[in-house]
Amino acid sequence: MAALDVQRSRDLTAHPPGLALRRFKDSAFIIWGIIATIIGLGTLVTLVTDLVHDGGHRLTLAFFSSFPSSEPAQAGILSAWVGSLLVIFTTALFAIPIGIMAGIYLEEYAPKNPLTSAIEIAVNNLAGVPSILFGLMAVGIFVQFLGNPNRWFSFLPEGFREAGAHLFGQSILTAGITLSLLILPVVIVATREAVRSVPREMRQGALAVGATKWQTTQHHVLPYALPGVVTGVIIGISRALGETAPLIMIGGLTFVAFLPITRPGDAAFETIGVLDEYGAAVDPSATEMVTIHHSGVVVLPDFTERAVTAGETIELPHGSTVQSVADWGDALASWNPGHWLGQEFTVMPIQMFNWTSRPQAEFLELAAGAGIVLLAITLLMNGTAIYLRYRLRKSIKW
């Protein structure tokens, strides 16, 4: 009887040997998986907490409206955030149209030939090239080559060369173009995926009623691909915003106490004549007739000062500086891209890096403050992109 019971229970639990252990391993693995996930997510939380703990108290209004300073208590990120804004604007201006057009070409137009595969290989490889190499390329092409038009383009008229020397070199334009090349693969890949997901029937419908290929693309494919494209653009821009290394390469400054655009009330300086690298006139004996636009003070090369009034035309030796206060007209005029694109710059990540590399604790607090701002912007942008992607997946069912 007892033997029969044992036999029956063996049949009922006819498990292969060691099953309990195998099941235990199975559950134990889940714990490992959760631990690994928590380490990843915990890093993010720790990072944010650490920054807020170190620099949260620096986030006052004055922090955003002050220039960097050797006096930590008065230092802020004004020139850094304005610089970042202008650089990112320039980046977007190049990266968005070129990236979207390239994506459309590869998905809708490209014939299957060696040239197309070469483009695809180039895009894939660009995505894996370290950002600092983009910086090296920018030094060679935008700073040294295009930034020295007198050396390389002596055949061009002088006006062109002057404009070239002003716009390229260590300027906002150079920074913007460099970052746009860096994020191009991100925008291209996102555009391709978005365009590919538009069903073929949409195109066929348009083509069947006589639309041309571009009309089909413009009116039927692009609008449906747009949310996907926007997601890619946001991710690309947020990457550009946090990039430091390529901008250090092209000479982003670490200490900038001026703005590329003028505010009304700012002091404005205009120096007369051609100067050497120490700020003295190349030809001290030369003079120039100058019409004064704003009342202010002229500082002559021997440091004597003289008051001038608007409308006056006087002869000034080279090396003199006209100092005045900018009015609203000057401020508006400085928004002209021809003015600010050629200015030297700093950006938020460079400012943060500069503060991080100083030993004093106060500067490290400033670095943390700048880090919070950077982190908040990039996480917000990526969060938006993720939300958009999520909405997209939910709302469109082909």
Partner 1 sequence: MERDFTKKKVRWIERGMEGLLFAAAAAAIAIVLGIVYVVVSESTKFFAQVSVIEFLTSTTWTPLFDNPQYGIAPLLTGTFMSTLVALAVAVPLGLLVAIYLSEFAGARTRETIKPTLELLAAVPTVVYGYFALLFVTPLLQSWLRPFGVELPSFNLLSAGIVMGLMIIPYIASLSEDAMRAVPRSMREGSYAMGATRLETAFRVVVPAAVSGVVGAVILGMSRAIGETMIVVVAGGQLPQMVTHPAQQGATVTAFIAQVALGDLPFGTLEYNSIFAAGLALLVLTLMFNFVAFWLQRRYREAY
**Cα 246 from Cα 142, distance rounded (Å):** 12
Q: Which residue has the tokens 């895009």?
A: 123
Binding residue for partner 1 (CB under 8 A) from 255, 276, 390, 391?
390
CB of 313 to partner 1, least distance (A): 40
Q: Nearest CA to 102 among 173, 178, 195?
A: 195
Restricting to residues 4-63, name those near partner 1 by CB under 8 A.
16, 22-23, 25-26, 29-30, 32-37, 39-41, 43-44, 46-47, 50-51, 54
- Tell whether the torsion through CA atoms of 183, 187, 189 and 190 is positive or negative: positive
- The count of C-alpha atoms lying within 13 angstroms of the C-alpha of 154, restricted to the half-sphere facing its C-beta, is 1
Restricting to residues 346-375, name those near partner 1 by CB under 8 A.
349, 352-353, 356-357, 364, 367-368, 371, 374-375
Restricting to residues 110-129, name those near partner 1 by CB under 8 A.
110, 118-119, 122-126, 128-129
Distances from the Cα of 80 to the Cαs of 93, 115, 174, 381, in angstroms? 20, 42, 17, 19
Beta pairing, strands 321-325 & 305-308: unpaired
> Whose Cβ is closer to partner 1: residue 55's or residue 319's?
55
Decide: 295 and 308 in contact? Cβ < 8 Å.
yes
Q: Which stretch binds partner 1 (CB under 8 A): 63-71, 130-138, 283-291, 295-303?
A: 130-138
Q: Nearest CA to 252 among 317, 189, 346, 322?
A: 346
**Cα 196 from Cα 104, distance rounded (Å):** 9
CB of 328 to partner 1, least distance (A): 36
**396 near partner 1, rule: CB under 8 A:** no
Restricting to residues 131-190, name those near partner 1 by CB under 8 A.
131-137, 139-141, 143-144, 181, 184-185, 188
CB of 141 to partner 1, least distance (A): 6
> Whose Cβ is closer to partner 1: residue 33's or residue 311's?
33
Backbone Cα Rg of the chain:
30
> Whose Cβ is closer to partner 1: residue 218's or residue 287's?
218
> Whose Cβ is closer to partner 1: residue 130's or residue 311's?
130
Q: Which residue has the tokens 């291209």?
A: 188
CB of 14 to partner 1, least distance (A): 11
Restricting to residues 199-238, name those near partner 1 by CB under 8 A.
212-215, 235, 238
Binding residue for partner 1 (CB under 8 A) from 241, 272, 298, 341?
241
Decide: 185 and 127 in contact? Cβ < 8 Å.
yes
Q: Nearest CA to 161 among 147, 171, 173, 174?
A: 147
CB of 120 to partner 1, least distance (A): 9
Binding residue for partner 1 (CB under 8 A) from 168, 174, 232, 243?
243
